[in-house]
Amino acid sequence: MALRTLNSVAARNLARRKGRYLLTASGIALGVAVLFAVQIMSGATNRALDRAIHGGAGKDDVYITPVGSFDASFPPGVFERVQKLPDVESAGAGTGFRSAVTSGREKPAIDSRRPNFVFVNGVDLATDRKVREYDVRDGRLFAGAADEIVLGPHIAKTVGVKVGDDVAVAAPAGQITLKVVGVLADSGIGTGNGGDIAVTSIPLSQRMLGKGAVFTSIDVVLRDGVDAKKWIETQRNALGDGVTMQKATDGDAGFRSFIAAVNGALTLGSAIALFVGGFLIFLTFSLAVAERTRTYGTMRALGALPKQIRSVVVREAALLGLGSSVVGLVLGYALAAAAMQLVSSLLYLRLPGLGLPVGPAGFSIAIGVIISVAAAWLPGRRAARLSPVTAMREGGVADDKAGRPVIGAVLVGLGMALVFALPGNGARVFPTLLVLFGAVMLVPIMLGPLARFLGAVTRRLARGVGAIAVMHLVKERSRSAYTLALVMVVLAMILAVGTSNASMAHTVDKVIERQAGGAVQVGAPGALDPAVERELTAIDGVKATTPMRFGQLDVVETGAPPRQFFTMIDPATYFSVGSFPWVDGNDGDARDAMTAGSGIILPEQQAIKLDVKRGGPVRVRTSAGVKRFTLVGTFGQIGNFPGPVLSVKDAALFGAGRPNGFLLSVAGGRAGIERVRRTILTNLKPRYNVEVDTSQTIKDQARAQLQGFFALAYALLFVAALVGILGLANTMVVSVLSRTREVGMLRSTGTLRRQARAMVLVEASTLALVAYLLALPLGWLLSTGIVVSQRATLGFSIDYVFPWLLVPALVILTVLVAAVGSLIPARRIGRLEIVDALRFD
């Protein structure tokens, strides 16, 4: 006796229909896979950021920097004042700058795009060792103020240098050759800036910076028990204007929020995959309960309580959910590995190994099982409510109420309202699911009329018996409706993502066209020598140049992100070389206002967040205290560049000195641009280590990034489409099974095998085409919501562009879905022997 409890029947049921349940399990497996992968990625990116920040920060509690541009430094006396502040246990000043290094043995290759950027930090080892760990892997630390440098492990590997080698460092004061005396271990300070760090003495770094004996950062270690946030609040004013303070662990908040947005989008994808998976389970169990009406009725007649019957159904789903979730974990691990490579290459972020994420694994399994159980709850309840009398009847089937149109309409309305109201992809998960649920409830009332309408055409596929197939679809409304809804949801999501993609691509083109302004962009990791501008202007083909300065800015308004990237333009020359993708404003007005000073141009989304209109005030922290600027205009922005835009007229307020880059307008079309690019790389790069980009390559990179993210979304949808096909195939198989006798009768009265096969195709194609018709408005509705609310995530308005080509493409996909979905059942029906079919019970 193997059967010990009634619940063991659940496992037997699963084992009996392995094929069908394998198909059903695929939906949950895929959903769990994506969910697991998202958690692994989220954890890995956060760990990577934590490691980079904590490793670099060490015991540092508060990080103090000068207000303004990357070229800014502290006014004299700030370090001494910091040391005397209350609760300061120790403080260390440093002089750092962004730079690039190349191996001293090789001349930089002209087209080299090797990422050799590095943060050079001049420190006083005696004080800084109290804050950070200095573990040297090879060699030793630098001695005194000699021309020696110690490299982080990653940059040493990237550039290919070892202890004893020379490296050329592109410093703001000019290129300098230094000897590598040590390579840091992959711990402590060696993990700062992802290992792309170089450490040397303060006198040497000050020499390289070329601004005299200045400091650019101060690390503060507070006494035990002192809260850094509160300390900053009380001491901010003690140092006067011109400095910003932040908790050492708050670095890269903007980057984290971007990662969170990416993970939010993936979570939405995962939720949809799980919804489709749960739907498939609901569908399968609804069919199973209908099939097993007599079994469950018999059990009731034999004395099984309703809760025992429900338990059998629900346990069956739980077992299925558990199995598919475990498979999902394996898939998810592989998916995470692939996705992390993609994210790593897109975001230039080195991610750590996947490790063994036990917590996320447990969570993903729990979600998979919970969704499976929830999906089977209704069928289980239906089974529990079966009247035992039904068991007495031959061919008795469970009553299956189909749809609640009023609730459905309310859910669609409520969901859409929330989609528009809530910002961010993560927050849209719930309302999107509401819309989908509502749409599913609306399907049954639309199925009958639409099936009759489309059936007039599709029934011709099976001459004579096609009408019977269409009739089945109309009569067996509940089963057909749920399958139809599954296909509809998949098609609608493809349409929604397609529309989102088309709209984004269109907008990206528009924004980048103007944002990338200037045919050629010249940049360097540190500040540029003033001589660079003269040399650029002298190049044959260069019509005009305009300097660009960058830095970090505190907008002192509620809702503004801390220490955001800003760009400083020279209004006298900027607008003859570049422009902005204006949402509100124009070049002429902006030039005038920025020339007058105290003007600021903001990305549209930030202006909305701050609730400020053109002409309104924006308070900004400057080296002369918090100043009121006037909003000159707003523009669309992709990514975090250029950020808030200030005028060089206000450079003194932000410690902005030497430019960090130039925009060039060039004569001679593409050939002219290429000629200028090569001239710069040949003449300027060896001396100033400048990087050259053309607006075309920037546009291509932006598009590639966008396509990279959409590729992920399409991959998820491809998977969802597969699940939809599985659902359709599942329903068609059950449909054929339940009509075996009828098919036998039709065959016995002269229906050909191919006619019987064609009946399946008629039913599947009618169902899929009705799903397609309903998916069009649903897809449009969802895409409108997604496009409008994407502004919140991406920071720019998106023009709605409907991808009309997708409409006929989806018809082809729909027909394919129907054809593939009816393949197995049609084969089965074609092989049926009449006598066996007539005997089928």
Partner 1 sequence: MGTEAGAVVLEARHLSKAYHQGGAVEQVLDDANLEVGAGRFVSVMGPSGSGKSTLLHLLGGLDTPDKGDVLLDGQALSAMSDDERTRLRRHRIGIVYQFFNLVPVLTVEENVALPAVIDGKAPASYAAKLAEVLELVGMAEHKGKQPAQLSGGQQQRAAIARALFIEPAVLLADEPTGNVDMRTGSEILALFADAQRDLNQTIVMVTHDPRSAGYADEVLLLRDGAVASTLDVGRATRGVAKKARDHESRPRAVLQWLETLDAGGAARRTRV
Q: Which two tokens stand for residue 202?
A: 């303060």
Name the minimum Å distance from CB 752 to partner 1.
Answer: 29
Q: Give me the torsion for CA of 615, 621, 624, 628, rounded to 10°.
A: 20
Which residue of 93, 304, 524, 608 would you call a contact of partner 1, by CB under 8 A?
A: 304
Closer residue to partner 1 in complex, CB, 123/383: 383
In this chain, which stretch among 298-306, 421-429, 468-476, 769-777 interacts with partner 1, using CB under 8 A?
Answer: 298-306
Asked whether position 13 contacts partner 1 by CB under 8 A, the answer is yes
Cβ 836 to partner 1, closest distance in Å?
13
Q: What's the rounded Cα separation, in Å, for the pair 511 and 513?
A: 5
Choose, by CB under 8 A, the member of 22, 253, 301, 815 that binds partner 1: 301
The least CB distance from residue 481 to partner 1, in Å, is 23
d(CA 71, CA 336) in angstroms, rounded, equals 39
CB of residue 744 vs partner 1: minimum separation in angstroms? 18
Q: Closest separation between CB of residue 830 and partner 1, Å?
A: 23
Give 101's contacts (C-beta < 8 A, 6+ positions apart).
116, 118, 151, 155, 159, 167, 168, 169, 170, 198
Determine the interface stretch with partner 1 among 293-301, 537-545, 720-728, 802-810 (rule: CB under 8 A). Answer: 293-301
Binding of residue 5 to partner 1 (CB under 8 A): yes
CA gap 748, 786 in Å, rounded = 54
Cα separation of 140 and 828, whole Å? Answer: 76
Q: Which 507-526 positions form the footprint of partner 1 (CB under 8 A)? A: none
Mask for 252-291, x = binds partner 1 (CB under 8 A): ----------------------------------------
Q: Is 840 in the site for partner 1 (CB under 8 A)?
A: no
Chain-centre distance for alpha carbon 65: 31
Task: Tell me which of 33, 239, 243, 299 binds partner 1, using CB under 8 A.
Answer: 299
Measured at the alpha carbon of residue 724, what is the angle toward residues 468 and 312, in degrees to the nearest 5? Answer: 90
Q: Does 4 bind partner 1 (CB under 8 A)?
A: yes
Collapsing DSSP states into helix, strand and coil, what is residue 796? Answer: coil
CA atoms within 13 A of residue 593's CA, in its CB half-sphere: 20
Shortest separation between residue 309's beta carbon and partner 1, angstroms: 10
Q: Report the alpha-carbon distance of residue 36 to residue 364 in Å, rounded.
A: 6
Strand-pairing partners, residue 120, are 97, 198
Tell which positions 15-34 bind partner 1, by CB under 8 A: 15-16
Work out whether 579 is an interface residue with partner 1 (CB under 8 A): no
**Could you tell me how far CA 740 lies from the centroid of its own chain?**
48
Q: Interface with partner 1 by CB under 8 A: which range of 115-123, 294-302, 531-539, 798-806? A: 294-302
**Of 141-160, which residues contact partner 1 (CB under 8 A)?**
none
Q: Tell the smallest beta-carbon distance from residue 3 to partner 1 (Å).
A: 4
Q: Interface residues for partner 1 in 388-427 (CB under 8 A)?
A: 388-389, 391-392, 394
Termini Cα distance of the chain? 27
Among 51, 98, 154, 300, binds partner 1 (CB under 8 A): 300
User: What whole-number distance in Å separates Cα of residue 113 and Cα of residue 558?
Assistant: 40
Residue of the chain from 9, 57, 208, 508 that contacts partner 1 (CB under 8 A): 9
Which residues between 793 and 822 bind partner 1 (CB under 8 A)? none
Choose the stretch contacting partner 1; rule: CB under 8 A; options: 296-304, 680-688, 709-717, 724-732. 296-304
Question: What is the C-alpha separation between 424 and 790, in angstroms, rounded?
Answer: 7
DSSP line for 132-178: S---EEEE----TTSSEEEE-HHHHHHHT--TT-EEEEEETTEEEEE
- Shortest distance in whole angstroms from residue 25 CB to partner 1: 18
Peptide bond into 444 cis (omega under 30): no
Smallest distance from the beta carbon of 12 to partner 1, in angstroms? 4
Cα–Cα distances in angstroms (integers) from residue 143 to residues 133, 167, 177, 613, in the given order: 17, 17, 16, 55
Measured from the CB atom, the residue of 127 and 387 that comes closer to partner 1 is 387
Select the span of 9-17, 534-542, 641-649, 742-750 touching partner 1 (CB under 8 A): 9-17
Q: For partner 1, which is the closer residue by CB, 390 or 552?
A: 390
Q: From the list 175, 308, 595, 630, which residue makes contact with partner 1 (rule: CB under 8 A)?
A: 308
Q: Are strands 617-622 and 599-603 parallel, antiparallel or unpaired?
A: unpaired
Can you state the angle between helices 253-291 and 18-57, rounded to 10 degrees?
170
Nearer to partner 1, 98 or 294 (CB): 294
CB of 316 to partner 1, least distance (A): 11
Q: Among 642, 518, 532, 657, which Cα is nearest to 170's?
A: 532
From 160-168, 224-232, 387-395, 685-693, span contacting partner 1 (CB under 8 A)? 387-395
Residues sharing a CB contact under 8 Å with residue 167, sequence separation 6 or more, in sequence order: 101, 102, 103, 104, 149, 151, 159, 161, 177, 178, 180
Beta strand segments in 581-643, E: 582-584, 599-603, 617-622, 625-635
CB of residue 840 vs partner 1: minimum separation in angstroms? 11
Nearer to partner 1, 298 or 595 (CB): 298
298 binds partner 1 (CB under 8 A): yes
Query: 830: left (phi > 0), else alpha (psi -120 to 50), else beta?
Result: alpha
Q: Which stretch binds partner 1 (CB under 8 A): 5-13, 408-416, 513-521, 793-801?
A: 5-13
Query: Interface residues with partner 1 (CB under 8 A)?
Result: 1-6, 9, 12-13, 15-16, 294-295, 297-306, 308, 387-389, 391-392, 394, 841
